[in-house]
Structure 1
Amino acid sequence: MDVKYLNPIIAATDSVFETMLSLKPEKGKMSVQEELITDKEANVIIGMTGDIRGSIVYSFSEEMALKVVAAMSGMEMDTLDKFVTSAMGELGNIISGKATVGLSEQDLECDIVPPQIVTGKEINITSEADSVLMVNFNTELGDFDVSFAIK
């Protein structure tokens, strides 16, 4: 995967977390996998079309998803319900939308499709990409992964 795709997505993740949640995500380890298997319970899948085709997947533990939505809404959350998954989908949508702006500044035309939310553990998310780059981020509320399956 070309790093020019990666940097705008990481920058958008940092910016949205700082603006919406007052959190500064610290980039942790990166790994390349043949397929995307997530060990986190709340997964937001955003498809990309245009010059860049593939998916970005934001993966959060149930505990972190509840904390993030509590911070977004000002309400205490205790269940990974439709409200929580909808809010997490919107967070992924905002990050990805901001990333497309950064990609367009590099003369890459791309659009995003509405988010899909998948809950559960050990989920295998298939894509057409030959490999998946997973970047782990750490915050005060916990850690999360952003995976790139871009063709």
Structure 2
Amino acid sequence: MKAEFINPFYQATINVFKLMLDIDVTRDQSKALQEMLGKKEVGVAIDVTGDLSGCILYRFSDTTILEMVKIMSGMEFDAIDSFVTSALGEVSNIISGNAVSSLFDQNYKCDIKPPRIIIEDEKPICLEGSQVLKIPLDTPIGKLQIHMTLKENVH
């Protein structure tokens, strides 16, 4: 996968976490994967269409999610409920929207579909059978990962 497809999502994640949560994000080494999404994690899948097609999956541990929503809302949560997953979907949607805007600046016209919440070992269909690039990220409130499968469409 081309770096010009990856970097907008990484940069958008850094920017959104800094703006919304006042948290710095650092990147570990990226890895190519065939399988993904383990236990005790919640993910948000967002399909990309247009000049590029594929899927972006944002994965978060339970503790990371609860801390994110606490910072955003000022309220304590001890379980992942519909309010928490809604907030998580919104953050992931904002990241993806910003990334697609950056891709547009590189002459890739893309759109995103509404976010889908993926619980624990559920796999988004858009990632099955695809080579997936994993971008592990660290924050002061926990780890998250971006799993990407994007390809350029020939017109």
Alignment partner of 1:108 is 2:123: no
The alpha-carbon deviation at position 128 of structure 1 amounts to 6.1
C-alpha contact 2:118 2:124 (8 A) present in aligned 1: no
Cα distance in 1, alignment partners of residues 118 and 130 from structure 2? 22
Render the CA deviation track for 1:47-80: whole Å, top value 9, x for unaligned. Answer: 1000110111110001110000111111111110
Residue in 2 aligned with 1:9?
Answer: 9
Code of the aligned partner of 1:107: N
Code of the aligned partner of 1:6: I
The alpha-carbon deviation at position 39 of structure 1 amounts to 4.3
Residue in 1 aligned with 2:124?
Answer: 125
Once the two structures are overlaid, the 10-residue window that deviates more, 29-38 or 139-148, is 29-38
Cα distance in 2, alignment partners of residues 64 and 36 from structure 1? 18
Tell me the SS of whatever aligns to 2:28: strand
CA RMSD of aligned residues (A): 1.4
Distance 1:36 1:20, change over 3 A: same
Code of the aligned partner of 2:44: V
Q: How many residues align?
A: 150
Render the CA deviation track for 1:92-113: whole Å, top value 9, x for unaligned. Answer: 0000000011000000000000
What runs of 5+ residues in structure 1 fail to find an aligned partner?
A: none
> Equivalent residues in 2 for 1:56-135 (5 A)?
56-120=56-120, 122-126=121-125, 127=127, 130-135=130-135
Consecutive aligned runs of 4 or more in structure 1 exceeding 6 Å deviation: none
Cα distance in 2, alignment partners of residues 8 and 88 from structure 1? 19
How high is the TM-score relative to the length of structure 2?
A: 0.91
C-alpha contact 1:36 1:125 (8 A) present in aligned 2: no
Residue in 2 aligned with 1:32?
Answer: 32
Tell me the SS of whatever aligns to 2:29: strand
